[in-house]
Amino acid sequence: MNLNHPITYIKGVSVARAELLFTELGIKSCNDILHFFPFRYIDKTQFYTINELTQNTAEVQVVGKIKAVKEITQQRGSRLVATFYDGTGTLDLVWFKGAKWIKNSLKTDVPYVIYGKLNWYNGVANMPHPEMETVKEYKSKPQTAMQPVYPATEKLANKGITNKILRGFIQNLFEQFFDIIEETLPDYLLKEHQLLDKKESLFNIHFPKSQELLAKAQYRLKFEELFFIQIQLLQKKLIRKSKIKGYVFEKVGEYFTDFYTNHLPFELTNAQKRVLKEIRKDIGSTAHMNRLLQGDVGSGKTIVALLSMLIAIGNGYQATIMAPTEILAIQHYNGIVELLEGTTIKVELLTGSTRIKKRREIHTGLEDASVHILVGTHAVLEDKVRFRNLGLAIIDEQHRFGVAQRSKLWQKNQAPASLDKKGVILLEKYKTEHPKIYKLHKEIALKRKNKTSKEERVLWDVLSTISTTSKFIRYYIIDEFLIDFICLEKKLIIEVNGKYHTTEVQQEAINLRTEVLTAFGYKVVRLNENQIINTLEKTIARIIATLKILPTIIVQKSVPPHVLVMTATPIPRTLAMSVYGDLDISVIDELPPGRKEIKTVHRYDSNRLSVFKFLKDEIDKGRQAYVVYPLIEESEAMDYKDLMDGYESISRDFPSPKYQISIVRGKMKPADKEFEMNRFIKGETQIMVATTVIEVGVNVPNASVMVIESAERFGLSQLHQLRGRVGRGASQSYCILLSSFKLSSDSKTRLQTMVDTTDGFKIAEVDLKLRGPGNIMGTQQSGVLNLKIADVVKDTAILQKARQTAINVLEEDASFSNPKNASLLKVYSQIQKTSGLWSNIS
């Protein structure tokens, strides 16, 4: 018996109930339900008599007997009513569902403990669907001052899996499995931090014997959860620094020196100088740099990025900076070209709009190293884009790129797999005849990598230990194909055909895939699952024989470029410790001198005329303004101004020819968008009406006013980013937040925070408290925040203690080889089995 068994091993959990618990709550194993924690507790120490009940009494507990039961026919079905008596009065117990089954289970003149929420009708109380158990049953169960309440869904309730039923399952689990619950923390940590042991903690989180024991159980389980997250993050960092080698930039170089001495247009802030030293130390060592650079809007991250790229170029390497939008990429490109004017450094821009002829020139320039810096969007990640020697990759607003996308930067120095003429025709045939399989196969395979079949796992267990000079690896990408197993030295591919490969169309696709991979120069061996299970020894002997006859080739191992990821959304220290604990973090916490603080005010829609008058006054001074809307088209569900309606309104109040207006939105063609942006940049238009497409990437020093319509519709980080579009020149700038009078409590807090401070880190702290950690960076980016009991906002002190403890443990015994850390080794080994494929990618 062990806790990894399905929950059907627990008394009372049928297969149907198990399926429901899995689909609704993700509970699959006994361990899952053991760690499915209550979200609140009900104090059940108090018993009421019926004559004590008042109309303001909500949830009550009463002891009494059922005197009579009757079924009452209704328009739809029937309801069951039982008369409950306790010697002081009567109370109706009512059931609207499951009447037949409940009627058969009720016993008259037997003492019951009932609990539920009262309903009152014409001054008479009744209790719908009460929790019930006989006094005998009640006394036989673990008595607790507080009863746990678990998260549930409507579907579970409709199927009869109530809170009481869930409690029963967990009670049965303790009765069956309590003795085999293992301790996960070493004795010395339990003593050092005065923690309850694991068994006591789990029992008291579900059935607390007292408030004090509940608090101790919660502390222990929160500490453990955060401790193991920090162990994972810190171990990743240790592995990256010790095992993943990076290019060594031995010198600062003449490009950096020349630019710093002759072309840098302003003095760097102390914060920028400090960050540059941190980066310089990383790229000057043999370790691979993986650094997060966070800094507020306008803090000067771009100049730090450029100076870092100049160090790479000065050491004979190329650099790239990747931005999430074309607007931001163009801004970076224009800014870098302007700064590098008068130098010999060649900079190119690659986006989705780049013409084919220009693309070819760029591809050639990257491969022969005549292009030093490539600025671009996702287009940089295309397989055709290859560098001679990419030494530094910078990713701006990194949370907008998926981990698998960012990982492509690691392969940019590898020579692409090549096809002959016949191979190109075969690949094109595969793409056109099986487009869905071709495009989706890699992503699907990546997502199901931890759900591989039993046969694949059996084969890998053997392939990974074959005693030859040639080693197999898993999940290797060729073109858009993700390969099951590959030996690069022998150019041998082994793929397993599963049960889903049986259709005629799938078989055709498999055959064509094999032809394409053969055209890439690989030998392909295909196995079905029966061969692996029934004739494993023969199958392995065949693979070894194939390895022996294939020639050995020298595989050029690519050194990954150093990675610097940047974000203008300041991240609270607590969150950074949780999400980015495996990265080195640099912070630019100082704005360049001469920048005036942006004055921010909140105005209601009724103040629109005075806001427009203020805009006209600013335009009369020669300034420009943004007016930003949250929606593009009308929405019946939301009473927000949309862009087109707003544009017409602005046009009426700011008529031409005196006023000229640009309009920019996400769905415009890139050429039209660029045309409108350029008109505004050149000062040909005074007002830009836009959606949040201008959140990042617009730099117009003359723009001094940002008006945000329906400001309550935006999140804090968006509002902060939008405000950062002004305040880039020497004149005083303003941000005006327009909203309706109907504001929720959170909306009021957001708008008041924007008025009170321009400090991005303070804003991020408020944002974290309002939204919680699960949403702030997106679930795809921060799986570690899918916490069961801890809260990185409320449990900061525990998090800091857990991180320091993890650091102390790893400094003393990083491999957990000391017998006293045996429990840590066991837990960490289990964690490793489910760790991500791209764990080292920023």
Residues 536 and 610 in one domain: no
CA 246 to chain centre: 27
Which CATH number goes with the domain that contains 485? Answer: 3.40.960.10
Using the predicted structure, report yes or no on whether residue 785 has a pLDDT greater than 60.
no
Q: Partners of 815 in the beta sheet?
A: none
Q: Tell me 69's DSSP state.
A: E
pLDDT level of residue 780 (50, 70, 90 thresholds): very low
Residue 498 or residue 174, greater confidence: 174
Distance CA 107, CA 155 (A): 28
Which CATH number goes with the domain that contains 98? Answer: 2.40.50.140
429, 353 Cβ separation under 8 angstroms: no
Please check whether residue 209 lies inside any domain of the structure. Answer: no
Give the per-residue pLDDT at 636: 43
Residues 439 and 401 in one domain: no
Residues 522 and 646 in one domain: no
Using the predicted structure, report yes or no on whether residue 35 has a pLDDT greater than 70.
yes
pLDDT level of residue 247 (50, 70, 90 thresholds): confident
Using the predicted structure, report yes or no on whether residue 828 has a pLDDT greater than 70.
yes
Give the gyration radius of the chain's Cα atoms.
33
Average pLDDT, integer, range 214-235: 91
* Contacts within 8 Å (CB) and 24+ apart, 385-389: 385/350, 385/412, 386/412, 386/413, 386/414, 386/415, 386/416, 387/318, 387/320, 387/412, 387/413, 388/318, 388/413, 389/316, 389/317, 389/318, 389/413
Quote the Cα angle for 261-265-270, to 5°: 80
Residue the block writes with tokens 């050194």: 559
Residues 273 and 401 in one domain: yes
704-744: pLDDT as tens digits: 999 999 999 888 888 988 898 888 877 899 999 999 998 99
Please check whether residue 225 lies inside any domain of the structure. Answer: no
Question: How many folded domains does the chain comprise?
Answer: 4
539-577: pLDDT as tens digits: 888 888 888 888 887 766 667 889 898 887 666 666 666
Question: Residue 14: left if φ>0, alpha if ψ -120 to 50, beta else—which one?
Answer: beta
Using the predicted structure, report yes or no on whether residue 482 has a pLDDT greater than 80.
no
Please check whether residue 839 lies inside any domain of the structure. Answer: no
Residues 515 and 476 in one domain: yes
Give the per-residue pLDDT at 184: 93
Average pLDDT, integer, range 124-129: 88
Which CATH number goes with the domain that contains 707? Answer: 3.40.50.300
CA distances from 457 to 496, 501, 502, 604, 812 (A): 11, 18, 20, 62, 34
Which pair of tokens denotes residue 193? 């931090």
Please check whether residue 328 lies inside any domain of the structure. Answer: yes
Residues 344 and 258 in one domain: yes
Give the per-residue pLDDT at 776: 35
Task: State the helix-helix crossing angle for 270-283 and 301-314, rounded to 10 degrees.
Answer: 30
80, 71 Cβ separation under 8 angstroms: yes
837, 449 Cβ separation under 8 angstroms: yes
Return the minimum-mean-pLDDT range out of 65-74, 504-513, 762-771.
Answer: 762-771
Return the minimum-mean-pLDDT range out of 181-190, 251-260, 400-409, 460-469.
Answer: 400-409
3 state DSSP class of 572: coil
Residues 524 and 442 in one domain: yes
Give the per-residue pLDDT at 574: 63
317-328: pLDDT as tens digits: 999 999 888 888
Give the per-residue pLDDT at 414: 54
Percent of the chain with pLDDT strictly greater than 70: 86
Domain boundary among 757, 776, 807: 757
Average pLDDT, integer, range 347-364: 91
Q: Domain span at residue 275?
A: 254-283+300-415+560-567
Residues 750 and 695 in one domain: yes
Residues 442 and 396 in one domain: no
pLDDT level of residue 775 (50, 70, 90 thresholds): very low
pLDDT level of residue 621 (50, 70, 90 thresholds): very high
Distance CA 46, CA 337 (A): 75
Using the predicted structure, report yes or no on whether residue 18 has a pLDDT greater than 50.
yes
- Mean pLDDT score across all residues of the chain: 83
In 10 A of CB 515, how many CB atoms?
16
655-682: pLDDT as tens digits: 988 999 988 877 778 788 888 888 998 8
Domain boundary among 701, 728, 757: 757
Please check whether residue 575 lies inside any domain of the structure. Answer: no
Please check whether residue 647 lies inside any domain of the structure. Answer: yes
Using the predicted structure, report yes or no on whether residue 754 has a pLDDT greater than 60.
yes
Give the per-residue pLDDT at 193: 95
Residues 481 and 516 in one domain: yes
Domain boundary among 110, 143, 176: 143
Residues 616 and 720 in one domain: yes
360-378: pLDDT as tens digits: 899 889 888 899 999 999 8
* Residue 553 neighbours by CB under 8 Å, 6+ apart: 488, 489, 490, 491
Which pair of tokens denotes residue 314? 């000065």
Using the predicted structure, report yes or no on whether residue 529 has a pLDDT greater than 70.
yes
Average pLDDT, integer, range 108-125: 86
555, 264 Cβ separation under 8 angstroms: no
Using the predicted structure, report yes or no on whether residue 9 has a pLDDT greater than 80.
yes
Residue the block writes with tokens 């907008």: 400
**Omega of the bond prior to 657 within 30 degrees of 0, cis?**
yes
Give the per-residue pLDDT at 396: 86
Please check whether residue 161 lies inside any domain of the structure. Answer: no
Percent of the chain with pLDDT strictly greater than 90: 31
CA 100 to chain centre: 47
Please check whether residue 700 lies inside any domain of the structure. Answer: yes
Using the predicted structure, report yes or no on whether residue 450 has a pLDDT greater than 80.
no
CA-based end-to-end distance of the chain: 40
Q: Dihedral through CA 215, CA 217, CA 223, CA 225, nearest 10?
A: -130
Average pLDDT, integer, range 185-211: 92
Residues 519 and 603 in one domain: no
Give the per-residue pLDDT at 223: 95
